[in-house]
Structure 1
Amino acid sequence: MENNFKTLRDAGITVIRMWLMGNGANYDGTVEVGFANDRGNFWDFHPPASVDKSFLEDFALLLNICRQANVQIIPVLIDFAFFDEPKGDLPLGAGRFVPTHGDWPGGRRSIAENPSIRREFIIGTLEPILKIAAANKDVIYAFEVINEPGWCIYRFTGSLFGKSLKPNDMMAFLSECVASIKAYGLKSTIGHRYLSDIYGEFSSVKVDLPQHHYYASKLFDSLNGKYPSTRIAKIIGEFGSITASEFDALKDRASRERDPTRKKILDRQVSDFDLQKNQWPDLSNIAPLVVNLPRDTDPSTILELRLQHLDSLGYQLAIIWPSPVDPDRETIDDLKLDSQKLQSVRRFTGR
């Protein structure tokens, strides 16, 4: 990890965004399952009184690796899938408490819905992590509560999320977490899916560094250029690095692959990167007849051009979502950004 971070730093990439708990599979507590007249069937996750010390040790080690590599980090506490329907088959029984053992992703929604459980989570889990972050403030760019919380409250999410949370419960969770982050002297952020989330459903939750992601979806996505300059978001937390031609090549390879293991990896990547292949409309009409002009349809210049555009719109940070990898290297702990893309970044950063 340190070598990878140093490679990125040498290319001028100075901030890493990384999930800590993700969907909760690595965060154990107990689950109370049963039936209540006022709630029907319920599944309530109860967090541990104190987060496992291995979390704190690993987090401290991660921050030390960042320091050695001379990069900063945005730790992302949880993903939206943390609050999704439980992905498990725990036995049901009224009033029954069942311990989890690293094998039950999702199903942690009671942390947002129940004020007392929410407080237990903040005191016993979030604040010990924040204490370590505050002691290593030099490598913390910002502390992120959750990745794309909109999926938790949107009415239509397809297969991404099950039963939606009540918006008021989500806002209470976010606001209390943000308050704790600020109390430890750290900058706060939330990784919103759309710019409109910041100024729409989640406008009541104030963070230090407003963040949204951008994949050029025609129906929903927009950039700072669509809004008055007084309402500028500070961070693009995710943006794509793959062109349509690269995606088509990936899809073609997946269709021709006969080895079951490689095909599974390729098919997953096709699904993951389908959203990211869109050309940015803001860049699609830049002197199209000029030969040799960099466009975001060219793999060798896509990142350079997109970074220049985001910089012109007032973003202070833009974080690249990496490219697909060769399935033969899937198990190798290596960069997911090839040399061509890194060179494109180098031209932007002057490295």
Structure 2
Amino acid sequence: MNIGINYPWIDYGWDFGDPPSAWVSAENLSSWREQKRRHIEDDFRHFASHGIFAVRWFLLADGMNYGIGELAPEQKGDEWTFDPLPAGHPFYKQLCDDFEFVLQTCAKYGLKFFPSLIDFHWCHHGTALDGSPGIIKGGRYDIVRDPMKRQAFFERVLDPLLEISMHYQDSIYAWELINEPEWVIRKLSLIGKKDVNRNVSIRVMKEFIAEGISRINMKLLPDGRSAFRSSVGFAHWDAMDKWDSIGLGITLHQFHYYAQENCDLPPHTYSDEYPCVVGEFATATERDWPDLTSLQQEQTVANRLRCVEEKGYPACFMWSARAMDVATSWTADEHREILAFTGATGPDSAA
């Protein structure tokens, strides 16, 4: 079984493309980017030395730096409106440059990249940062809901990134369109109170997914095979059936396992051609896995990896290297367990 890692960001929402000028001044931008890239190289070198095969990373996340100032989402009453950045905007060039740097770094260290285009927070109610109406987290659900805006977004963002990916096809593990879309789907409320962060119907979200997945699947190699596997990071295993993952055209099925509802990890039941992976699981104890509890095994990363392997999954991705949450524990102890599992020789022997 291949072991991957969720990076999943350094600066959530502004890892790719220029940062807000209020946070990084123009005169400091070059040195800031150089320092960040050295950090990425150091991390990727460390991952490779531990036998990790791929890195999952949220590209645009909540969209914070995709539309700043006058181009940021705008609140009108209870709704937020947002237009994709115009063609030719400088953001796109820097987005592509940062993306290509990560692919080059993956190629340098023998890693594969698992990019996730947007996170579910993209569709949340907008939130202004630093008291500034020009720096908005979320508030970009128009891109999902409006067919014309959706098409423009895919043409200006996804398609160019896929074109770059074609030059590094061996360094792409799969292309993920969105992380955990379930969290922004509208639900009926018995008390009539609207959840401001659930702004998309399941029908519209599935249309967004189907169109994006189709664009990924249409990138072909010279022999006619698909260049990339396509994926959506579902928050729960039953969503793959409820949302008809196969019907959406997804070719790398994916769910996230955090021992939800105290249920065992389900066995892998997908084909070798179109497999399923565990896209996230906690490295911290966080919540006991019932599979391990029933066997009276410790809740260690190594035991969790063995459990995933025994269930038949071809790959899994640990959460996480850099997130600061209750599911993450990324210390020397976890590093030693990963080395023991993968049989890698560790950083001392890395080139």
TM-score, normalization: structure 1? Answer: 0.73
User: Structure 2: which 5+ residue stretches go unaligned?
Assistant: 1-39, 220-226, 345-351
Structure 2 counterpart of 1:84: 124
1:122-271 to 2 correspondences below 5 Å: 122-153=154-185, 155=187, 162-184=197-219, 185-203=227-245, 204-218=247-261, 223-225=265-267, 234-243=276-285
Structure 2: distance between partners of 1:278 and 1:347:
23
Q: 2: distance between equivalents of 1:163 and 1:12?
A: 39
**1:1-351 map, 5 Å:** 1-28=40-67, 30=71, 42-50=79-87, 52-88=92-128, 103-153=135-185, 155=187, 162-184=197-219, 185-203=227-245, 204-218=247-261, 223-225=265-267, 234-243=276-285, 277-286=286-295, 288=296, 295-297=297-299, 302-322=300-320, 337-351=330-344
In the TM superposition, what is the alpha-carbon distance from 1:230 to its structure 2 partner? 6.2
Distance 1:165 1:191 in 2: 17
Q: SS state of the match for residue 46, structure 1?
A: coil
Q: Per-residue displacement from partner, 1:116-155 (whole Å, max 9, x unpaired)? A: 1111111111101111112111110001101101101163
- Which has the higher mean CA deviation after the structures are superposed, 1-10 or 229-238? 229-238
Larger Cα Rg: Structure 1 or Structure 2?
1
Q: 1:161 to 1:241 in 2, by over 3 A?
A: farther
State the AA in 2 paired with 1:152. Answer: V
Q: Distance in 1 between matches of 2:72 and 2:261?
A: 41
State the 1:159 CA deviation. Answer: 12
8 Å CA contact 2:115, 2:176 repeated in 1: yes
Higher relative contact order, chain-length normalized (CA < 8 Å, sep 6+): 2
Q: Is the 8 A contact 1:151 1:160 kept in 2?
A: no
CA distance in structure 1 between the aligned counterparts of 2:85 and 2:253, rounded to whole angstroms: 30
Offset at residue 107 of structure 1 (A): 0.8
Distance 1:159 1:44 in 2: 18
Could you tell me how far apart the structure 2 residues matched to 1:161 and 1:323 are? 31
TM-score, length basis structure 2: 0.73
Aligned length: 285
From the superposition, tell whether residues 25 and 76 of structure 1 become closer, same or farther in structure 2 (CA, over 3 Å).
same
**Structure 1 residues 42 and 72: CA distance shift in structure 2, 3 A:** same
Q: Quick check: 2:62–2:118 contact (8 Å CA) kept in 1?
A: yes
Note closer, same or farther for the CA distance 1:182–1:109 as it changes in structure 2 (3 Å cut): same
Question: Runs of 5+ in structure 1 lacking a partner?
Answer: 90-99, 244-276, 289-294, 327-334
Q: CA RMSD in A?
A: 3.2
